[in-house]
Structure 1
Amino acid sequence: MNTLLFIVDAFADKAFTGNPAAVCLLGNPADEAFMAKTAAEMNLSETAFLWPEQDGYRLRWFTPAVEVKLCGHATMASAHVLWETGRLGSHEEARFHTRSGVLRATKSEEVISLYFPPYEITAAPPIAGLAAALGLEEAHVLETVRYADNVLVRLDHETRVCGLCPDFVQVAKLQPRAVAVTAECAADGIDFVSRFFAPGIGVNEDPVTGSLHTALAPYWAGRLNRTQLTAYQASARGGMLQLEVSQDLVTLSGRAVTMVSGQFHVPAGAVGELL
């Protein structure tokens, strides 16, 4: 079985930056064993699988360990592949049927925009041991909130976010599915910085996390009293995101670069066949 396979750097202005995602372009629904094993083989933070469905494409995302309900950078990578391979015209909207509902993407010149529902943010008490697991003192944590199954921690200075060296073993032992950290940024043209750690689901640090910004965008829009924001995720690869917040949508915009295109060869019988 041969599958079209791409690796795309998403939220990247140039190669070797942003967040790499693998994209498997299929003609039919795929067996879950195939998707799980393929994602483990790719060993990237996310591998996307998409095939035609209704008025768009079915889209599913897998880390090397689990399937996830929402992923921003692999959605951007998937839309980029559809436009780049001519399956969609450059002015056509990409529509994806996902576990988080129908997601849309558009392209204007080289900028891709994703339209995602915002996460609800709720107040939460500090989590015992989290600051230490992140390599921080408790005094550096200004606020702790939750979104979905994740924890978002606001720190007192951007340099603490950029300089974090978490103990991933200890972070994985804590209750949250993932832990994000953020701080306001004083640099020109950047409103806030962030990082995202999810060792419990096979991703120690995600380079640039679109889904996180569907929580960060409304969070910082409320604090800064602005609906248009520029964010930088301060991983080793780094990535910029342009954000716009409306009542029921967060628009995440950035660029993507194809790094690999080819075929993924799977011997017959190695995993479940395509349905």
Structure 2
Amino acid sequence: MRYYVVDAFAEKVFEGNPAGVCVLDSWLPDGLMQNIAMENNLSETAFTVKEGEAYRLRWFTPGGEVDLCGHATLATAYVLSSFVETGADRLLFETLSGRLTVSRRGDLYELDFPAYTLTPVPVTGAMEEAAGFRPTEAWMARDLVCVLEDERQVREAAPDMARVTALDGLLLHLTARGKDYDCVTRSFAPKMNVQEDPVCGSGHCHVVPLWSRKLGKKELVARQASRRGGTLFCRDCGERILLAGRAVLYSAGEIYPGNQG
């Protein structure tokens, strides 16, 4: 099968978040898709099949399937518009999180995603021990969001992954107000066998509603402060979040899943 690696939310290769993209004629067994994701060892590998006017899209981490992934959706839209439906300016995806739309705005790909509803939770000693800094606030949806005092703490954090795994929530996001950006965030997913997600789209479906309310603005420029780094242009639309970014092709090749012996 044809296989691509795309750096999403990136201005050039080796930035943003690399995602694998497999464009299929028909679905593979779940176990085989999981093995491919483990072999690729990227934070996500996306698999997509055309179904009517839309594409069915699924995302696998090395540790299992997830219900929402922003960077791999952006990467899939880039691959489809570049190599399959050349020049397409709007793509529809059917996913575990419902229908998602990706639109091209010049060289930006804008993702229309559901916003998570955050519930405040008490800050605990376990959170402080896991993050290395005591959060000023904590919020829970699918993931745990810990607000830190300043951007420096987010950038310098070296979380204890064993303690992160023991926390509630699928991922841990550490976030703070930024100096050059509206907010800065880092995302950790040891439960999915991903230590740090270089740029997390679904994480920003958590933090954008939070910072939109705090800052009193609907449009935000967010920075993922991982080592690779990535910039997201975000808009809070209430129950939906628009996330836009650029993408760069790193590689294209073939996978031979039949060579299993």
Which residue of structure 1 lines up, in the alignment, with residue 256 of structure 2?
A: 265
For structure 1, the 5+ residue unaligned runs are: 271-275
| Distance across 2 between alignment mates of 1:41 and 1:147 | 30
| Distance across 2 between alignment mates of 1:207 and 1:105 | 21
Q: 1:269 to 1:17 in 2, by over 3 A?
A: closer
- Deviation of 1:174 after TM superposition, in Å, equals 2.5
| Distance across 1 between alignment mates of 2:254 and 2:235 | 36
SS in 2 for 1:156: coil
Which residue of structure 1 lines up, in the alignment, with residue 245 of structure 2?
A: 254
* Equivalent position amino acid for 2:163 in 1: Q
- Report the aligned-residue RMSD: 1.2
| Distance across 2 between alignment mates of 1:248 and 1:241 | 18
Checking the alignment, whether the CA contact within 8 Å between 1:112 and 1:253 is kept in structure 2 is yes
* Equivalent position amino acid for 1:172 in 2: T
Checking the alignment, whether the CA contact within 8 Å between 1:90 and 1:107 is kept in structure 2 is no
| Distance across 2 between alignment mates of 1:55 and 1:38 | 27
Q: After the TM superposition, list the runs of 4 or more consecutive aligned residues in structure 1 that deviate by more than 6 angstroms.
A: none
Which residue of structure 1 lines up, in the alignment, with residue 120 of structure 2?
A: 123
SS in 2 for 1:217: helix
TM-score by length of 2: 0.97
| Distance across 1 between alignment mates of 2:212 and 2:42 | 31
* Equivalent position amino acid for 1:221 in 2: S
2:148 pairs with one of 142, 148, 155: 155
| Distance across 2 between alignment mates of 1:196 and 1:70 | 14
- Deviation of 1:91 after TM superposition, in Å, equals 4.2
Which residue of structure 2 lines up, in the alignment, with residue 145 of structure 1?
A: 139
Which residue of structure 2 lines up, in the alignment, with residue 210 of structure 1?
A: 201
| Distance across 2 between alignment mates of 1:216 and 1:130 | 17
Show CA shifts across 1:221-254 (max 9, x none). Answer: 1000000000000000000000011123211001
2:20 pairs with one of 19, 22, 32: 22
SS in 1 for 2:210: helix
For structure 2, the 5+ residue unaligned runs are: none
**Are residues 1:182 and 2:165 paired?**
no
* Equivalent position amino acid for 1:213 in 2: H
* 57-66 vs 175-184, greater mean Cα deviation: 175-184
Give the paired residue count: 261
| Distance across 2 between alignment mates of 1:90 and 1:105 | 13
- Percent identity for Structure 1 against Structure 2: 38
Equivalent runs, 1:168-179 vs 2, <5 Å: 168-179=161-172
SS in 1 for 2:94: strand
* Equivalent position amino acid for 2:178 in 1: C
2:158 pairs with one of 161, 165, 176: 165
Show CA shifts across 1:132-176 (max 9, x none). Answer: 12122x3xx11001112x110101110000000111122112332
| Distance across 2 between alignment mates of 1:8 and 1:22 | 7
SS in 2 for 1:60: strand
SS in 1 for 2:231: strand
